[in-house]
A = this chain, B = another copy of it.
Amino acid sequence: MKLTICTIGELLVEFLAKKENQGFSSPGEFWGPFPSGAPAIFADQVAKLGLGSVLFSCIGNDAFGEMNMARLARDGVCIEGISVLPNTTTGSAFVSYRNQTQRDFIFNMANSACGLLTADNVDEQLLSNCQHFHIMGSSLFSFRMIDAMRKAIENVKSRNGTVSFDPNIRKEMLNIPVMLQAFEYILDYTDIFLPSDSELEYFGLAKSRDEPLMIERLLSRGIKHVVIKRGPLGASYYNQQSSYHAPAYEAKVVDPTGAGDCFGATFVSLFLSGYPPEQALEYANASGSLAISRRGPMEGTSTLAEITAYMACNPHPGVEN
Protein backbone atom coordinates (compact mmCIF):
# COMPACT_ATOMS: atom_id res chain seq x y z
CA MET A 1 0.00 0.00 0.00
CA LYS A 2 1.26 3.45 -0.86
CA LEU A 3 2.11 5.50 2.23
CA THR A 4 -0.23 8.48 2.59
CA ILE A 5 0.61 11.62 4.56
CA CYS A 6 -1.98 14.18 5.57
CA THR A 7 -1.58 17.71 6.81
CA ILE A 8 -3.93 20.43 7.99
CA GLY A 9 -3.61 24.17 7.77
CA GLU A 10 -3.36 27.33 5.81
CA LEU A 11 -3.84 27.46 2.06
CA LEU A 12 -3.00 30.94 0.89
CA VAL A 13 -1.98 33.04 -2.03
CA GLU A 14 1.22 34.99 -1.63
CA PHE A 15 2.29 38.34 -3.00
CA LEU A 16 6.02 38.91 -3.03
CA ALA A 17 7.59 42.39 -2.97
CA LYS A 18 9.95 42.82 -5.91
CA LYS A 19 12.63 44.81 -4.10
CA GLU A 20 14.55 44.15 -0.91
CA ASN A 21 13.34 46.37 1.93
CA GLN A 22 10.33 47.39 -0.14
CA GLY A 23 8.02 46.91 2.82
CA PHE A 24 4.30 47.55 2.96
CA SER A 25 4.19 51.24 3.79
CA SER A 26 4.22 52.75 0.33
CA PRO A 27 3.18 51.62 -3.14
CA GLY A 28 5.63 49.35 -4.91
CA GLU A 29 5.53 46.31 -7.16
CA PHE A 30 4.63 42.77 -6.18
CA TRP A 31 4.64 39.40 -7.88
CA GLY A 32 1.65 37.20 -7.28
CA PRO A 33 -0.66 35.51 -6.58
CA PHE A 34 1.47 32.43 -5.93
CA PRO A 35 -0.07 29.31 -4.35
CA SER A 36 1.20 29.23 -0.79
CA GLY A 37 0.71 28.21 2.82
CA ALA A 38 3.35 26.11 4.56
CA PRO A 39 1.18 22.96 4.93
CA ALA A 40 0.07 23.29 1.30
CA ILE A 41 3.68 23.49 0.11
CA PHE A 42 4.48 20.48 2.28
CA ALA A 43 1.54 18.56 0.80
CA ASP A 44 2.54 19.52 -2.74
CA GLN A 45 6.13 18.34 -2.16
CA VAL A 46 4.92 15.03 -0.67
CA ALA A 47 2.71 14.42 -3.72
CA LYS A 48 5.53 15.25 -6.13
CA LEU A 49 7.64 12.55 -4.46
CA GLY A 50 4.94 10.04 -5.35
CA LEU A 51 3.46 9.44 -1.90
CA GLY A 52 -0.21 9.86 -1.14
CA SER A 53 -0.85 13.43 0.06
CA VAL A 54 -4.05 14.72 1.63
CA LEU A 55 -4.46 18.38 2.57
CA PHE A 56 -7.27 19.54 4.83
CA SER A 57 -7.95 23.24 4.39
CA CYS A 58 -10.58 25.78 3.32
CA ILE A 59 -10.75 28.32 0.51
CA GLY A 60 -13.18 31.05 -0.43
CA ASN A 61 -15.34 30.92 -3.53
CA ASP A 62 -12.92 33.05 -5.53
CA ALA A 63 -10.19 32.95 -8.16
CA PHE A 64 -7.43 32.68 -5.56
CA GLY A 65 -8.98 29.50 -4.20
CA GLU A 66 -9.58 28.05 -7.65
CA MET A 67 -5.95 28.65 -8.58
CA ASN A 68 -4.74 26.86 -5.46
CA MET A 69 -7.03 23.88 -5.99
CA ALA A 70 -6.02 23.51 -9.63
CA ARG A 71 -2.34 23.68 -8.75
CA LEU A 72 -2.50 21.11 -5.95
CA ALA A 73 -4.61 18.76 -8.05
CA ARG A 74 -2.15 19.04 -10.95
CA ASP A 75 0.72 18.03 -8.68
CA GLY A 76 -1.16 15.02 -7.34
CA VAL A 77 -2.45 16.22 -3.99
CA CYS A 78 -5.83 14.76 -2.97
CA ILE A 79 -7.98 17.91 -2.76
CA GLU A 80 -11.10 16.25 -1.41
CA GLY A 81 -10.19 17.55 2.03
CA ILE A 82 -10.35 21.17 0.85
CA SER A 83 -13.70 22.81 1.60
CA VAL A 84 -15.07 25.88 -0.19
CA LEU A 85 -16.60 28.19 2.44
CA PRO A 86 -19.16 30.67 1.09
CA ASN A 87 -18.87 34.33 2.11
CA THR A 88 -15.18 34.02 2.91
CA THR A 89 -12.07 35.02 1.02
CA THR A 90 -9.15 32.71 0.33
CA GLY A 91 -6.29 33.58 2.69
CA SER A 92 -3.40 35.72 1.53
CA ALA A 93 0.05 36.75 2.65
CA PHE A 94 2.35 39.57 1.67
CA VAL A 95 6.09 39.04 1.90
CA SER A 96 8.88 41.57 1.73
CA TYR A 97 12.50 40.51 2.09
CA ARG A 98 14.90 42.62 4.13
CA ASN A 99 17.82 40.50 2.97
CA GLN A 100 18.34 36.88 1.93
CA THR A 101 17.13 35.48 5.22
CA GLN A 102 14.98 38.06 7.00
CA ARG A 103 11.51 38.84 5.78
CA ASP A 104 8.39 40.66 6.91
CA PHE A 105 4.90 39.31 6.43
CA ILE A 106 1.36 40.62 6.55
CA PHE A 107 -1.14 37.78 6.82
CA ASN A 108 -4.83 37.58 5.96
CA MET A 109 -5.12 34.20 7.56
CA ALA A 110 -6.95 33.84 10.87
CA ASN A 111 -10.10 35.49 9.45
CA SER A 112 -9.77 34.05 5.97
CA ALA A 113 -11.38 30.86 4.69
CA CYS A 114 -8.56 28.60 5.92
CA GLY A 115 -8.70 30.29 9.34
CA LEU A 116 -12.30 29.12 9.69
CA LEU A 117 -11.46 25.43 9.29
CA THR A 118 -12.93 23.32 12.08
CA ALA A 119 -12.62 19.67 13.05
CA ASP A 120 -15.81 19.12 11.02
CA ASN A 121 -13.87 19.92 7.86
CA VAL A 122 -11.50 17.02 8.62
CA ASP A 123 -13.25 14.04 7.12
CA GLU A 124 -12.66 10.78 9.03
CA GLN A 125 -12.87 8.69 5.90
CA LEU A 126 -10.06 10.61 4.24
CA LEU A 127 -8.11 10.64 7.49
CA SER A 128 -8.34 6.87 7.76
CA ASN A 129 -6.30 6.55 4.54
CA CYS A 130 -3.35 8.26 6.18
CA GLN A 131 -0.46 6.64 8.05
CA HIS A 132 1.28 9.87 8.94
CA PHE A 133 0.15 13.35 9.99
CA HIS A 134 2.25 16.50 9.62
CA ILE A 135 1.47 19.79 11.34
CA MET A 136 3.05 23.24 11.01
CA GLY A 137 3.17 25.50 14.05
CA SER A 138 2.08 28.37 11.83
CA SER A 139 -1.30 26.66 11.43
CA LEU A 140 -2.11 26.62 15.14
CA PHE A 141 -3.56 30.13 15.28
CA SER A 142 -7.06 29.28 16.51
CA PHE A 143 -8.82 26.90 18.87
CA ARG A 144 -10.71 25.58 15.86
CA MET A 145 -7.49 24.65 14.10
CA ILE A 146 -6.08 23.06 17.27
CA ASP A 147 -9.23 20.96 17.61
CA ALA A 148 -8.86 19.85 14.03
CA MET A 149 -5.22 18.93 14.66
CA ARG A 150 -6.18 16.90 17.73
CA LYS A 151 -8.76 15.00 15.74
CA ALA A 152 -6.15 14.13 13.12
CA ILE A 153 -3.52 13.15 15.69
CA GLU A 154 -5.92 10.91 17.60
CA ASN A 155 -7.09 9.23 14.42
CA VAL A 156 -3.63 8.60 13.02
CA LYS A 157 -2.09 7.57 16.36
CA SER A 158 -4.97 5.18 17.07
CA ARG A 159 -3.86 3.24 13.98
CA ASN A 160 -0.18 3.29 15.04
CA GLY A 161 0.57 6.11 12.63
CA THR A 162 3.21 8.75 13.22
CA VAL A 163 3.27 12.52 13.59
CA SER A 164 5.76 15.16 12.46
CA PHE A 165 5.85 18.76 13.62
CA ASP A 166 7.60 21.75 12.07
CA PRO A 167 7.29 24.85 14.31
CA ASN A 168 7.54 27.19 11.28
CA ILE A 169 7.35 30.15 13.62
CA ARG A 170 6.68 33.59 12.14
CA LYS A 171 7.47 36.52 14.39
CA GLU A 172 4.20 38.08 13.17
CA MET A 173 2.29 35.23 14.85
CA LEU A 174 3.95 35.05 18.24
CA ASN A 175 1.30 37.36 19.68
CA ILE A 176 -1.22 34.53 19.34
CA PRO A 177 -1.28 33.08 22.88
CA VAL A 178 -3.06 29.88 21.89
CA MET A 179 -0.19 29.00 19.56
CA LEU A 180 2.46 28.63 22.26
CA GLN A 181 0.12 26.49 24.35
CA ALA A 182 -0.54 24.28 21.36
CA PHE A 183 3.20 23.77 20.89
CA GLU A 184 3.42 22.09 24.29
CA TYR A 185 0.52 19.80 23.41
CA ILE A 186 1.85 18.72 20.05
CA LEU A 187 5.36 17.92 21.33
CA ASP A 188 3.86 15.10 23.40
CA TYR A 189 2.70 13.38 20.19
CA THR A 190 5.60 14.25 17.92
CA ASP A 191 7.67 11.44 16.42
CA ILE A 192 9.68 13.62 14.02
CA PHE A 193 10.43 17.16 15.15
CA LEU A 194 11.73 19.56 12.48
CA PRO A 195 12.69 22.92 13.98
CA SER A 196 15.13 25.41 12.50
CA ASP A 197 18.16 26.11 14.67
CA SER A 198 16.77 29.52 15.61
CA GLU A 199 13.45 28.03 16.70
CA LEU A 200 14.90 25.65 19.30
CA GLU A 201 14.83 28.33 22.00
CA TYR A 202 11.01 28.53 21.87
CA PHE A 203 10.83 24.95 23.04
CA GLY A 204 12.24 26.18 26.27
CA LEU A 205 13.13 22.91 27.96
CA ALA A 206 16.54 24.39 28.50
CA LYS A 207 16.68 28.09 29.22
CA SER A 208 19.93 28.31 27.38
CA ARG A 209 21.35 28.27 23.90
CA ASP A 210 23.05 24.98 24.71
CA GLU A 211 21.92 23.03 21.65
CA PRO A 212 23.16 19.56 22.67
CA LEU A 213 21.32 19.90 25.98
CA MET A 214 18.12 21.03 24.26
CA ILE A 215 18.28 18.13 21.80
CA GLU A 216 18.94 15.65 24.61
CA ARG A 217 15.91 16.89 26.50
CA LEU A 218 13.70 16.72 23.39
CA LEU A 219 14.78 13.10 22.80
CA SER A 220 14.36 12.14 26.45
CA ARG A 221 10.80 13.53 26.54
CA GLY A 222 9.92 10.99 23.86
CA ILE A 223 10.53 12.62 20.49
CA LYS A 224 12.16 9.89 18.42
CA HIS A 225 13.74 11.95 15.66
CA VAL A 226 14.96 15.54 15.81
CA VAL A 227 15.93 17.16 12.52
CA ILE A 228 17.40 20.64 12.76
CA LYS A 229 17.31 22.91 9.73
CA ARG A 230 20.31 25.21 9.61
CA GLY A 231 19.70 27.03 6.31
CA PRO A 232 23.03 27.62 4.52
CA LEU A 233 24.74 25.45 7.14
CA GLY A 234 22.77 22.36 6.16
CA ALA A 235 20.79 20.11 8.47
CA SER A 236 21.33 17.64 11.30
CA TYR A 237 19.54 14.49 12.43
CA TYR A 238 19.48 13.17 16.00
CA ASN A 239 17.99 10.13 17.68
CA GLN A 240 18.87 8.44 20.95
CA GLN A 241 21.64 6.40 19.33
CA SER A 242 23.12 8.46 16.55
CA SER A 243 23.43 11.80 14.82
CA TYR A 244 24.33 12.97 11.32
CA HIS A 245 25.08 16.34 9.81
CA ALA A 246 24.64 17.07 6.12
CA PRO A 247 26.15 20.35 4.88
CA ALA A 248 23.99 22.34 2.46
CA TYR A 249 24.43 22.44 -1.27
CA GLU A 250 25.63 25.75 -2.59
CA ALA A 251 22.61 27.35 -4.19
CA LYS A 252 21.72 30.77 -5.54
CA VAL A 253 19.08 32.29 -3.30
CA VAL A 254 16.14 33.57 -5.35
CA ASP A 255 13.29 33.14 -2.86
CA PRO A 256 13.79 31.09 0.30
CA THR A 257 10.09 31.06 1.26
CA GLY A 258 8.89 27.46 1.14
CA ALA A 259 12.37 25.91 1.27
CA GLY A 260 11.91 24.67 4.83
CA ASP A 261 8.57 23.12 3.88
CA CYS A 262 10.12 21.31 0.90
CA PHE A 263 13.01 20.16 3.09
CA GLY A 264 10.62 18.82 5.71
CA ALA A 265 8.31 17.10 3.23
CA THR A 266 11.25 15.43 1.50
CA PHE A 267 12.85 14.28 4.74
CA VAL A 268 9.59 12.91 6.16
CA SER A 269 8.50 11.27 2.89
CA LEU A 270 11.80 9.52 2.20
CA PHE A 271 12.49 8.61 5.84
CA LEU A 272 9.04 7.04 6.18
CA SER A 273 9.62 5.28 2.85
CA GLY A 274 12.65 3.57 4.32
CA TYR A 275 15.59 5.79 3.38
CA PRO A 276 18.20 5.85 6.15
CA PRO A 277 18.16 9.20 7.97
CA GLU A 278 21.53 10.37 6.62
CA GLN A 279 20.32 9.81 3.07
CA ALA A 280 16.93 11.40 3.68
CA LEU A 281 18.84 14.40 5.06
CA GLU A 282 20.83 14.79 1.86
CA TYR A 283 17.77 14.52 -0.37
CA ALA A 284 15.98 17.03 1.88
CA ASN A 285 18.89 19.45 1.58
CA ALA A 286 18.79 19.13 -2.20
CA SER A 287 15.02 19.66 -2.18
CA GLY A 288 15.46 22.83 -0.09
CA SER A 289 18.17 24.10 -2.43
CA LEU A 290 15.94 23.58 -5.44
CA ALA A 291 13.17 25.46 -3.62
CA ILE A 292 15.24 28.57 -2.87
CA SER A 293 16.38 28.80 -6.48
CA ARG A 294 12.83 29.43 -7.77
CA ARG A 295 10.61 32.45 -7.21
CA GLY A 296 7.31 31.71 -5.50
CA PRO A 297 6.76 29.70 -2.35
CA MET A 298 5.30 26.56 -3.99
CA GLU A 299 7.12 26.94 -7.31
CA GLY A 300 10.16 25.20 -5.86
CA THR A 301 8.65 21.78 -5.12
CA SER A 302 10.45 18.97 -6.95
CA THR A 303 9.98 15.41 -8.10
CA LEU A 304 12.35 12.69 -6.92
CA ALA A 305 13.88 12.69 -10.41
CA GLU A 306 14.56 16.42 -10.20
CA ILE A 307 16.14 16.05 -6.77
CA THR A 308 18.28 13.15 -7.91
CA ALA A 309 19.40 15.08 -10.97
CA TYR A 310 20.24 18.09 -8.82
CA MET A 311 22.35 15.91 -6.53
CA ALA A 312 24.15 14.41 -9.51
CA CYS A 313 24.93 17.83 -10.98
CA ASN A 314 26.09 19.58 -7.83
CA PRO A 315 29.15 19.10 -5.66
CA HIS A 316 28.14 16.64 -3.00
CA PRO A 317 29.03 17.84 0.46
CA GLY A 318 28.79 14.40 2.07
CA VAL A 319 27.44 13.53 5.50
CA GLU A 320 29.28 13.82 8.82
CA ASN A 321 28.58 11.69 11.82
The proximity string for A residues 4-36 relative to B, scoring 1 for CB distances below 8 Å and 0 otherwise, is: 000000000101001000011111111111100
- Provide the bound-state CA to CA distance between A105 and B26, in Å: 21
- Interface-lining segment among A106-114, A126-134, A236-244: A106-114
The proximity string for A residues 25-49 relative to B, scoring 1 for CB distances below 8 Å and 0 otherwise, is: 1111111111000000000000000
Neighbouring B residues of A111 by C-beta, 8 Å: 88-89, 111-112
Instruction: Please judge, given known A-B contacts A108-B92, A175-B87, whether A62 and B24 are in contact too, CB under 8 Å.
Output: yes
Instruction: Please judge, given known A-B contacts A29-B30, A87-B175, whether A64 and B112 are in contact too, CB under 8 Å.
Output: no
Closest to A91 in B: B108
Partner of A27, one of B26, B31, B63: B31
* Contact A30 B27, beta carbon cutoff 8 Å: no
Neighbouring B residues of A66 by C-beta, 8 Å: 25
- Provide the bound-state CA to CA distance between A66 and B175, in Å: 19
Closest to A14 in B: B27
- The count of identical subunits is 2
Is A288 among interface residues, defined by CB-CB distance under 8 A? Answer: no
* Contact B296 A27, beta carbon cutoff 8 Å: yes
- Provide the bound-state CA to CA distance between A82 and B30, in Å: 27
- Provide the bound-state CA to CA distance between A211 and B28, in Å: 43
Is A67 among interface residues, defined by CB-CB distance under 8 A? Answer: yes
Closest to A299 in B: B27
* Contact B108 A67, beta carbon cutoff 8 Å: no
Partner of A28, one of B23, B27, B32, B92: B32
* Contact B29 A64, beta carbon cutoff 8 Å: no
* Contact B27 A33, beta carbon cutoff 8 Å: yes
* Contact B28 A29, beta carbon cutoff 8 Å: no
* Contact A23 B63, beta carbon cutoff 8 Å: yes
Neighbouring B residues of A92 by C-beta, 8 Å: 92, 108
- Provide the bound-state CA to CA distance between A28 and B33, in Å: 7
Neighbouring B residues of A109 by C-beta, 8 Å: 89
Neighbouring B residues of A106 by C-beta, 8 Å: 62-64, 89-90
- Shortest Cβ distance from residue A109 to the other chain B in the assembled complex, whole angstroms: 8
Centre residue among A23, A25, A29 by max chain B CB count within 10 A: A25
Partner of A107, one of B24, B29, B89: B89
Neighbouring B residues of A33 by C-beta, 8 Å: 24, 27, 94
- Provide the bound-state CA to CA distance between A192 and B57, in Å: 46
Partner of A108, one of B24, B30, B112, B176: B112
- Provide the bound-state CA to CA distance between A27 and B13, in Å: 10
- Shortest Cβ distance from residue A311 to the other chain B in the assembled complex, whole angstroms: 28
A residues at B contact (CB < 8 Å): 13, 15, 18, 23-34, 62-64, 66-67, 70, 86-90, 92, 94, 104, 106-112, 175-176, 296
Known: A25-B63, A63-B104; 5 extra A-B contacts, CB below 8 A, are A15-B30, A23-B63, A27-B31, A89-B108, A89-B109
